[in-house]
Chains A and B, each alone.
Chain A
Amino acid sequence: MLKFYEKEFAYCTLYTFSVYGHYLLQTLLHIFEKIACMNNILVTKDVTKRFGEHTALKKVSIEIPKNSIYGLLGPNGAGKTTLIRIINQITFPDEGEVFFDGQPLQSHHIAMIGYLPEERGLYKSMKVGEQALYLAQLKGLSKSEAKQRLKYWFDRLDIGDWWNKKIQELSKGMAQKIQFIVTVLHEPKLLIFDEPFSGFDPINANIIKDEILQLKEKGASIIFSTHRMESVEELCDHIALIHQSEKILDGKLSEIKKAYKSNIFEVGLEVEKGETLLKDLQEKFQITSSAYDPIEKQLDFKLQLPSSDSSGVLAYLSGKANINQFIETIPSANEIFIRTVQTKDAYE
């Protein structure tokens, strides 16, 4: 009897799994996806946008982790602004989905996003304070709340006495400061800065850069779109590269850099007979841009290794000379940008 039941039970289980296994798997996947989304403030899935015959975005999927600075890079006209406008619900994708904080993007999410567009400006004949209040209220802040926060920010950026000035009386850099405040005032979860430093002098650009880092520290996630690679290097944790409407590269900046390493080492040696050593080395390794200074007894060269394992070379070199310098060259974001875009173009 018992055996029969056991058999029956086993059949049942098998049957259940075979029928419902598919659904179970899907549910599990869905849960994983949810968890993945939870860690990301914003996820786009195969987002496609066409303008007439022109395709502005082709199946772009990105994941923007919470509390990070995400660099959105790409040449002019690649589709960055279109993607940003889709995130801001200014335009809508033809295909694909966008999730904000795990939920499908909806109009009420607007209040949780702060956007500093590349093409930006303010009402010229409106007073600074009034204008900032208006824009803050459009983002859903109450008037008194907005006033209080504006006062804080105006003091912070040292512009308290501009309240009753008209925008047309301010310089471009001054207006940019107001614009920055208006973008961050409603303490959005996601901030989108499109070329934030244009129009700022170096001193003020630095102030704004520090403010952006502060905002990240306070928990905001930031999308940062720019051509200025040195600021990408300084600020971004993650990057995505968009070229000709397609995402061609994304990930953690440090990992991308690792992946883009070409195993080139810059070596500096102190050695008596530099020429002979160099000849010796040239037979064994791939050496470029070598130079020997006989007076200083200094031999410099670049070394190309087949893999990133450099311990063998180091052991060999340390027996022959004093090693002054042995550095792996890590590509800059700029180099990665140019290389990826060029390979992509050459490939096509």
Chain B
Amino acid sequence: MSKLPLIIKREYLAKVRNKSFVIMTFLSPILMVGMVVLIAYLTKLNDNEKRIISVLNESNYFKADFITDESTAYVNFENISLDAAKDSTANLGYSGLLHIPGDGDLEMIAERSYFYSKKAANTSVISTIENIFQEQLRQQKLKKMGVSSHDFAQIADRFEIRTSTFAGEENLKGINELKAAVGGAFGYLIMMFIIIYGGFVMRSVIEEKTSRIIEVIISSVKPFQLMLGKIIGTSLAGITQFAIWIVSASLLSLVAFAVFGIDPDTLNQGAEMTSVMGGNMEGSVPSPSRAMEYVQEIWRLPWLMLIIFFLVYFILGYLIYSSIYAAIGAAVDNETDTQQFIFPIILPLMLAIYVGFFSVFNNPHGPIAVGFSLFPLTSPIVMLMRLPGGIGEGGVPIWQLLTSIALLIATFIGIVWLAAKIYRIGILMYGKKPSYKELFKWLRY
């Protein structure tokens, strides 16, 4: 019969024409891009203000160390007293005054140097100045020890152990986390999709119940057809929404960045800045060539395989969860009664995400990761986090993948069957507040 397409079409159109859906679809990207642009713009605005710092240097050191750059300009005061320097700094509206006293050796001078400012000092200015002092002090000490700065540069080489699989495939350090993050993005997408559109399916079932159209419809089609049509129609609407979001968000951000003249790197710089504050400046920022290596590594991921398995896990996982949502919608009379049933659904999803982030990122093939990637209610998310590591040697063993998919399919059939049963009974039950006991009874009707 050609009734299923009819139902899918109606559910799709009903969803897509819904006012709040339309508003959400077109407003969300604007809000999202707007947010990012705003943050970028404000960051830029914040940094745009060029700081001028006056330096009263009475020593013989640091003559050539304070060099004006993009964000900070240094003005040298000479032959005036400290008080006069403070006054003129304040009068000229400069950000601060750095006083380096004249007597003693470098260490003593550094000890007695002060930075004066009107308000509490800006941390990035302080850290810049501190770095300059540190560098000078280090040079000084090296000189004392008889090591030339050239020699020092020679020994300062960083070391990083190179890792490789037994098969001889070279790994980049941290690439596991990176790969898991790619899989995590897929998993997160699945979770969001299930929660948003599963909820839509549920609400749509409740609407049919409260408007009492349900009996009219199921005298024409089988309840299972209606449930399936509803799930597919709603997910197609969801895919449409996601597609619109992705396309319009990328277009909008391109336009926005062009209009506001924000270099997308501004945001990256912000990220780098935080890591600088974190203290391990040298460690975390990969050199350009290293970054290229990472990009290449990501590019080398088995994308085709990933997308195929993403679709498999997405479709099965979504069908499992949304049929549970449909059954819940059928069991209750209004949305307020759904809470007690929704929590047990969200729980495995949340668990999958957190286990994924904390356990799979560290060890993609550890026992926890394996267990959760086999368990059907969490496998769509956790397995996708493991898969970027590849299949077979060095990656997910084939038996695990097959077992996981087999379990998922078995669960899918079982859950859809159970949900359809609850759905079939529930849609015709009015005025009863269902308990788990009641639902269990329905299964045996």
Q: A interface vs B, CB < 8 Å?
A: 51-52, 85, 88-90, 107, 110, 113, 115, 117, 119-126, 134-135, 137-139, 179, 182
Residue of B nearest to A143 (CB): B6
Q: Is B150 an interface residue (CB 8 A)?
A: no
Residues of B within 8 A of A90 (CB): 215, 218-219, 223, 428
From known contacts A52-B445, A123-B211, infer whether A139 and B220 are also in contact, taking CB-CB under 8 Å.
Answer: yes
Residue of B nearest to A113 (CB): B219
How many angstroms between the C-alpha atoms of A137 and B221 in the bound complex? Answer: 11
Check A120–B213 contact: CB distance below 8 A.
Answer: yes
Check B212–A134 contact: CB distance below 8 A.
Answer: no
| Distance of A184 from chain B, by nearest CB (Å) | 13
Check A52–B219 contact: CB distance below 8 A.
Answer: no
Check B212–A119 contact: CB distance below 8 A.
Answer: yes
Check B444–A138 contact: CB distance below 8 A.
Answer: no
- Residues facing A in B1-23 (CB within 8 A) are 3, 6-7, 10, 14, 18
Residues of B within 8 A of A135 (CB): 216-217, 220
Residues of A within 8 A of B61 (CB): none
For B208, B211, B430, the residue with the greatest tally of chain A CB atoms inside 10 Å of its CB is B211
| Distance of A186 from chain B, by nearest CB (Å) | 9
Check A134–B216 contact: CB distance below 8 A.
Answer: no
How many angstroms between the C-alpha atoms of A110 and B208 in the bound complex? Answer: 21
Residues of B within 8 A of A138 (CB): 3, 6-7, 217, 220-221
- Residues facing A in B175-221 (CB within 8 A) are 207-208, 211-213, 215-221
How many angstroms between the C-alpha atoms of A117 and B214 in the bound complex? Answer: 10
Check B213–A121 contact: CB distance below 8 A.
Answer: yes
How many angstroms between the C-alpha atoms of A165 and B215 in the bound complex? Answer: 23
Query: 11 additional contacts, CB 8 Å, given A115-B219, A138-B220?
Result: A110-B219, A117-B219, A119-B215, A120-B215, A121-B212, A121-B213, A122-B216, A125-B14, A125-B18, A134-B6, A138-B6
| Distance of A201 from chain B, by nearest CB (Å) | 20
Set A120, A125, A139: member contacting B212, Cβ < 8 A: A120
| Distance of A19 from chain B, by nearest CB (Å) | 46
Q: Is B441 an interface residue (CB 8 A)?
A: yes
Residues of A within 8 A of B215 (CB): 90, 115, 117, 119-120
Check B217–A52 contact: CB distance below 8 A.
Answer: no
How many angstroms between the C-alpha atoms of A90 and B207 in the bound complex? Answer: 19
Residue of A nearest to B19 (CB): A125
How many angstroms between the C-alpha atoms of A123 and B213 in the bound complex? Answer: 7
| Distance of B422 from chain A, by nearest CB (Å) | 14
Q: B interface vs A, CB < 8 Å?
A: 3, 6-7, 10, 14, 18, 207-208, 211-213, 215-223, 428, 430, 441, 444-445
Check B10–A134 contact: CB distance below 8 A.
Answer: yes
| Distance of A122 from chain B, by nearest CB (Å) | 5
Set A51, A124, A125, A179: member contacting B445, Cβ < 8 A: A51
Check B220–A117 contact: CB distance below 8 A.
Answer: no
Residue of A nearest to B225 (CB): A138
Residues of B within 8 A of A124 (CB): 207, 211
Check B441–A52 contact: CB distance below 8 A.
Answer: yes
For B18, B218, B221, the residue with the greatest tally of chain A CB atoms inside 10 Å of its CB is B218
How many angstroms between the C-alpha atoms of A113 and B220 in the bound complex? Answer: 9
Set A113, A115, A126: member contacting B216, Cβ < 8 A: A115
16 interchain pairs, CB-CB under 8 A: A51-B445, A52-B441, A52-B445, A90-B215, A90-B223, A110-B219, A119-B215, A120-B216, A122-B211, A134-B10, A135-B216, A135-B217, A135-B220, A138-B7, A139-B220, A179-B216
How many angstroms between the C-alpha atoms of A329 and B295 in the bound complex? Answer: 98
Residues of A within 8 A of B444 (CB): 52
Residues of A within 8 A of B441 (CB): 52
How many angstroms between the C-alpha atoms of A59 and B184 in the bound complex? Answer: 59
Q: Which 7 pairs between the two chains have the least Cβ-Cβ distance?
A: A121-B212, A138-B220, A117-B215, A115-B219, A121-B211, A88-B219, A119-B212
How many angstroms between the C-alpha atoms of A123 and B230 in the bound complex? Answer: 14
Residues of A within 8 A of B18 (CB): 125
How many angstroms between the C-alpha atoms of A255 and B444 in the bound complex? Answer: 42
Set A115, A119, A137: member contacting B6, Cβ < 8 A: A137
Residues of A within 8 A of B430 (CB): 119
Set B3, B14, B213, B445: member contacting A122, Cβ < 8 A: B213
How many angstroms between the C-alpha atoms of A137 and B213 in the bound complex? Answer: 15
How many angstroms between the C-alpha atoms of A117 and B219 in the bound complex? Answer: 9
How many angstroms between the C-alpha atoms of A119 and B208 in the bound complex? Answer: 12
| Distance of A188 from chain B, by nearest CB (Å) | 11
How many angstroms between the C-alpha atoms of A137 and B229 in the bound complex? Answer: 15
From known contacts A90-B428, A123-B211, A124-B211, infer whether A117 and B6 are also in contact, taking CB-CB under 8 Å.
Answer: no
How many angstroms between the C-alpha atoms of A137 and B6 in the bound complex? Answer: 8
| Distance of B12 from chain A, by nearest CB (Å) | 12
| Distance of A203 from chain B, by nearest CB (Å) | 24
Check A182–B216 contact: CB distance below 8 A.
Answer: yes
How many angstroms between the C-alpha atoms of A228 and B20 in the bound complex? Answer: 44
Residues of A within 8 A of B6 (CB): 134, 137-138
| Distance of A234 from chain B, by nearest CB (Å) | 26
| Distance of A83 from chain B, by nearest CB (Å) | 14
How many angstroms between the C-alpha atoms of A88 and B222 in the bound complex? Answer: 11
Residues of B within 8 A of A120 (CB): 212-213, 215-216
Residues of B within 8 A of A126 (CB): 14
Residues of B within 8 A of A125 (CB): 14, 18
Residues of A within 8 A of B211 (CB): 121-124
Residues of A within 8 A of B208 (CB): 123
Residues of B within 8 A of A51 (CB): 445
How many angstroms between the C-alpha atoms of A71 and B215 in the bound complex? Answer: 21
How many angstroms between the C-alpha atoms of A115 and B7 in the bound complex? Answer: 19
How many angstroms between the C-alpha atoms of A122 and B212 in the bound complex? Answer: 7
Residue of B nearest to A182 (CB): B216
How many angstroms between the C-alpha atoms of A121 and B427 in the bound complex? Answer: 14
